[in-house]
Amino acid sequence: MSTATDSLPVVALRRIGSMSLFLGQVVARIGPAFTRPALIVRQIYNAGARSLVIIMLSGMFVGMVLGLLGFDVFQRFGSEDYVGVLAALGNLKVLGPVLTALLFAGRAGTSLTSEIGLMKSTEQLTAMQMMAVDPVRYVVVPRFLGGFIAMPLLSATFTLIALYGAQLIGVQQMGVDAGAYWSQTQNAVDLHDVWEGIAKSLVFGMAVSLVAVYEGYHAEPTPEGVGLATTRTVVISSVLVLLLNYLLTAAFLTTK
Amino acid sequence: MIFDGLDITARRGRITAFMGPSGTGKTTLLRLITGQSYAERGSVKVFGEEVSKMSTGELFGLRRRMGMLFQNGALLTDLDVYENVAFPLRAHTKLPESLVRQLVLTKLHAVGLRGAARLMPAELSGGMARRVALARAIVMDPEILIYDEPFVGLDPISMGVICRLIKQMNEALGITSIVVSHDVQELASIAHDSFLLSGGRVVASGTPEELNRSDIPEVRQFMDGLADGPVAFHYPAPDYSAELLDEAADAT
């Protein structure tokens, strides 16, 4: 239990420890949770399909901005053909997974936290325990898996739409030659870059989903407590995603 | 310390009522019985087994033999009425869907809500939600049924319905019932044994009639609904006039 006198590192350390133990509980129940796949499919729909519109819209605008920015920068060097390279590498390696994770934390993460927090405050989790049903297995694990599975799919959608948006601006509007645009992109992007994006989206999906379900499950069972837990989900998830992004980018750079 | 020298037995097949003013630890007592909390000292036994010494598996085994009705019903808000009642069956059994349907409809019929099977919890009134929760609590045919403040916030009709259902469950199914409440009149009409808690101890016990005849000040205050008595109306505070005069002196 945190006290007001605990310093920030102590609070952070305690939270990391508690979250790690919680992750252990979740992982131990993943196998049994697959005996009821309908629960997981429903959560993939909740976390994934319901976030699709915001992800697609954001992907389109990010791609279009990358197209404009790339054209502005590269035309100064007479290398407009490289707009596609910037858009593809930027989206695949960084912007796709990171922005999707941040949007996912704001859209689906908060929803997961408030849903579980409200279930706690209305004694639904206690009622499950009284029915000899483990709430971690029935409530937490399906939501965690739903987020973990949905996140890479959303990230892939974001990236594809962003690539289309960049192409729309670079080729259709600014007049970059389509052949040069795509051939430069194809030459610059290799499988390692694709793997980097996939790995990041998997790690971010796990991190954001874990933070969301943890905060909901440990929320104070009051309206204020649920509100604070929801805020913590966005703050912790966002910082964690940016930190992990740096670490993963550095790690992939050294293994290239 | 919440309880001091508490000695209570709820007998098999009877309706036992725990009464007392708010804040006396009635809900805490239920949490001790169901293994949601453990006492630092003393013993809580259910079916002759010490609850605090049970493993998680044993505790879940015990809870399968119990049903609990929560104050607000605690229905799962993402499931409709039918699925709420079916929830324990789906979690603990592999019964075919036809049998699950039969059991669910039987229990819903018993609480008069078979027609509400496809409503969502948000569409139910407080009394209906509690009746659905009661159907869910009995769907696994428990040996003990625990009611936590079943009458709170209900209109007289709903209160009467819940009262009648508690009695019916006890008489028709032989379920041992433990009811925690501070609604004296309702409990008096259904309880076989009553315990009046105050200040962390039992101040009186017996049948509701015996409690009604008691001369103990705590019992009289509670049964007659008196504002003043052993349970003080005022929360402990400094002297009223002294505090007002201090404030006036500070202002000048």
Residue-number span of the structural domain to which B126 is assigned: 15-251
pLDDT of residue A226: 96
Least CB-CB distance to B70: which of A119, A123, A138? A123
Cβ contact B103:B135 at 8 Å: no
Residue A92 belongs to some domain of the structure: yes
**Residue B149: inside a domain, yes or no?**
yes
- C-beta of residue A132 within 8 angstroms of C-beta of residue A32: no
Residues of B in contact with A134 (CB under 8 A): 60
Which of A:198-227 have CB within 8 Å of B? none
**How much is the pTM?**
0.85
- How many domains does the structure of chain B reveal? 1
pLDDT at A4: 60
> Would you tell me which residues 16-55 of chain B have a C-beta closer than 8 angstroms to some C-beta of chain A?
34, 36
Q: What are phi and psi of B180, to 5 degrees?
A: -105, 125
Which one of B61, B74, B136 has the shortest CB-CB distance to A126? Answer: B74
Q: Write out pLDDT tens, residues B101-123.
A: 999 999 999 888 999 999 999 99
* B72 contacts in chain A (CB < 8 Å): 122-123
Taking CB atoms and an 8 Å limit, are A138 and B64 in contact across chains? no
**pLDDT-wise least confident of A66-75, A168-177, B151-160:** B151-160
pLDDT digits (tens, 9 = 90+) for A67-106: 999 999 999 988 888 999 999 999 999 999 999 999 999 9
pLDDT of residue A2: 55
Q: Which residues contact B113 (CB under 8 A, 6 or more apart)?
A: B81, B128, B131, B132, B135
Residue A119 at interface with chain B, using a CB cutoff of 8 Å: yes
Q: Do A123 and B64 touch (CB under 8 A)?
A: no
- Helices and strands: H and E segment counts in chain B: 10, 8
Over 70: is that where the pLDDT of A23 sits? Answer: yes
Counting one residue from A and one from B, how many pairs have CB atoms under 8 Å apart? 50
Q: Which CATH number goes with the domain that contains B38? A: 3.40.50.300
Cα–Cα distance measured from residue A221 to residue A125, given in angstroms and rounded to the nearest whole number? 11
> pLDDT tier at A45 (50, 70, 90 boundaries)?
very high
Which residues on chain A are in Cβ contact (under 8 Å) with B65? Answer: none
Q: Residue A153 contacts by C-beta under 8 Å, 6 or more apart in sequence? A: A48
Do the domain assignments include residue B8? no
User: Is residue A123 over pLDDT 80?
Assistant: yes
Domain total of chain A: 1
pLDDT band at A5 (very low <50, low <70, confident <90, very high): low
Look at residue A251 in the predicted model and tell me its pLDDT: 94
CB within 8 Å: B74 and A122: yes
pLDDT, average across residues B229-243: 81
Q: Does B68 touch chain A (CB under 8 A)?
A: yes
Task: Decide which of B39 and A178 is more confident.
Answer: A178
Is B217 a domain residue? yes
All residues of chain B having their beta carbon less than 8 Å from the beta carbon of residue A131 are: 63, 87-88, 91, 136, 140
Cβ separation of B63 and A129 shorter than 8 Å? yes
**Residue in the block written with tokens 């079943």:** B150
Percent of the residues in chain A that have a pLDDT greater than 90, as a whole number:
84
- Quote the CA–CA distance of A161 and B36 in Å, as a whole number: 50
Which residues of chain A neighbour B152 with C-beta distances below 8 Å? none
Residue A138 in contact with partner chain B when CB distance is under 8 A: yes
Q: Which of B16-20, B99-103, B200-204 has the lowest mean pLDDT?
A: B200-204
Query: What is the mean pLDDT of the segment spanning A103-121?
Result: 95
Note which residues in 75-94 of chain B have CB less than 8 A from chain A.
Answer: 75-77, 87-88, 91-92
Contact residues, chain B, for A124 at CB < 8 Å:
74-77
Q: What DSSP state is assigned to residue A77?
A: T
The pLDDT of residue B226 is above 80: no
Residue written as tokens 């996939």? A198
Residue A185 lies in a domain: yes
pLDDT (0 to 100) of residue B224: 78
pLDDT-based confidence at residue A51 (cuts at 50, 70, 90)? very high
Q: Are B121 and B84 in contact (CB under 8 A)?
A: yes
Judge whether A145 and A40 are in contact, CB under 8 Å: yes
**A115 alpha carbon, distance to own chain's centre:** 18
Q: Is residue B10 part of a domain?
A: no
Domain that holds residue A37: 8-255
By Cβ distance, the residue of B64, B74, B88 closest to A124 is B74
Range in A35-39, B5-9, B170-174, B246-250 with the lowest mean pLDDT = B246-250
B64 Cβ under 8 Å from any chain A Cβ: yes
pLDDT for A95 equals: 95
pLDDT at A3: 60
A21-27: average pLDDT? 95
